[in-house]
């Protein structure tokens, strides 16, 4: 035979003692031909089940450790948030420092997101349901959105909390030409964008609010 056919021939040749073959005694495992005489279906299946159980146990332990780490990080962030709030109240100078730190945090997060382009503004969902909002909120949190603006952003995902220039279908249609001036950032993996105030200071007050907007779409996000 040709030399380049040798590897495939060795795998399939009936005289190869290591050729993988399926067990015909009932378990269906594929094993080397020369191990068939010592093969025990019950023993092999037990070993396979034990191996899978061990993998599941390791996976569960890893998930628990990750949950614990996330919980600790959230607790530490909440403590920092509470501390900054207390300092704002007690010390006007610290209030200015804390406000600047929060603005810097939002800006860093914004810079970590990908710029988005909306190709179909007509696909905007102005009244997303609770399930859709919860999904977007979870994605924002996982993307590193600062905790102090997550709830505000999600409130601003519904037209009830949008600025005057977006609060109704009629005003949205009248102001559609201004949409292209928005600096939009992609919500990772979702048909949604965040329009942050820090990125859109050039927009008029009737088109943007603090800390920003979340716009969810049925389609049309690139």
Same domain assignment for residues 124 and 209: yes
Percent of the chain that is helix, strand, coil (3-state, to 5): 60, 10, 30
2, part of any domain: no
pLDDT band of residue 34 (cuts 50, 70, 90) is confident
Higher per-residue confidence, 112 vs 31: 112
Mean pLDDT of the 194-216 span: 93
Same domain assignment for residues 121 and 196: yes
pTM above 0.75, yes or no: no
pLDDT tens figures, 100-143: 778 888 999 999 999 999 998 888 999 999 999 999 999 999 99
For the chain, the domain total comes to: 2
130-168 burial by CB neighbour count: b if 16+ within 10 A, else e? Answer: eeebeebbeebeebebbebbeeebbebbbbeebbebbee
83, part of any domain: no
Average pLDDT, the chain: 87
91, part of any domain: no
53, part of any domain: yes
Same domain assignment for residues 53 and 140: no
44, part of any domain: yes
Least Cα distance to 108 among 146, 140, 78 occurs for: 146
Same domain assignment for residues 212 and 119: yes
Same domain assignment for residues 122 and 173: yes
Same domain assignment for residues 129 and 201: yes
Mean pLDDT of the 144-154 span: 90
Residue at token pair 């220039």 = 165
Same domain assignment for residues 130 and 194: yes
Same domain assignment for residues 123 and 206: yes
pLDDT at 169: 85
135, part of any domain: yes
pLDDT tens figures, 170-184: 888 888 889 989 999
Give yes or no for residue 161 having a pLDDT over 70: yes
Q: Which of 78-92, 110-124, 161-175, 181-195 has the lowest mean pLDDT?
A: 78-92
97, part of any domain: no
pLDDT at 31: 84
Same domain assignment for residues 148 and 213: yes
Q: Which of 22-26, 148-152, 156-160 has the lowest mean pLDDT?
A: 22-26
11, part of any domain: no
Same domain assignment for residues 140 and 55: no
Cα distance between residue 91 and residue 113, in whole Å: 34
Same domain assignment for residues 119 and 69: no
Same domain assignment for residues 122 and 205: yes
pLDDT at 33: 85
pLDDT at 94: 66
pLDDT at 88: 64
Give yes or no for residue 44 having a pLDDT over 80: yes
Identify the domain containing residue 127 by its residue range.
115-217
């Amino acid at each position: 035979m040709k030399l380049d056919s040798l590897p495939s021939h060795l795998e399939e040749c009936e005289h190869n003692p290591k050729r993988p073959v399926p067990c015909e005694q009932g378990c269906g495992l594929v094993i080397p031909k020369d191990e068939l005489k010592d093969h025990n279906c019950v023993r092999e299946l037990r070993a396979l089940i034990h191996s899978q159980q061990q993998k599941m146990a390791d996976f569960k332990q890893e998930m628990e450790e990750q949950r614990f780490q996330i919980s600790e990080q959230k607790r530490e962030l909440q403590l920092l948030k509470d501390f900054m709030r207390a300092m704002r109240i007690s010390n006007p100078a610290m209030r200015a420092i804390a406000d600047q730190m929060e603005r810097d945090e939002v800006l860093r997060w914004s810079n970590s997101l990908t710029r988005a382009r909306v190709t179909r503004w007509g696909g905007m969902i102005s009244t997303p349901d609770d399930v859709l909002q919860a999904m977007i909120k979870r994605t924002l949190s996982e993307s590193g959105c600062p905790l102090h603006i997550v709830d505000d952003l999600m409130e601003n995902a519904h037209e009830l909390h949008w600025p005057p220039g977006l609060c109704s279908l009629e005003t949205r249609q009248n102001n559609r030409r201004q949409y292209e001036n928005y600096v939009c950032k992609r919500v990772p993996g979702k048909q949604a964008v965040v329009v942050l105030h820090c990125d859109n200071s050039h927009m008029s007050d009737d088109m943007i609010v603090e800390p920003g907007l979340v716009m969810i779409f049925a389609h049309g996000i690139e």
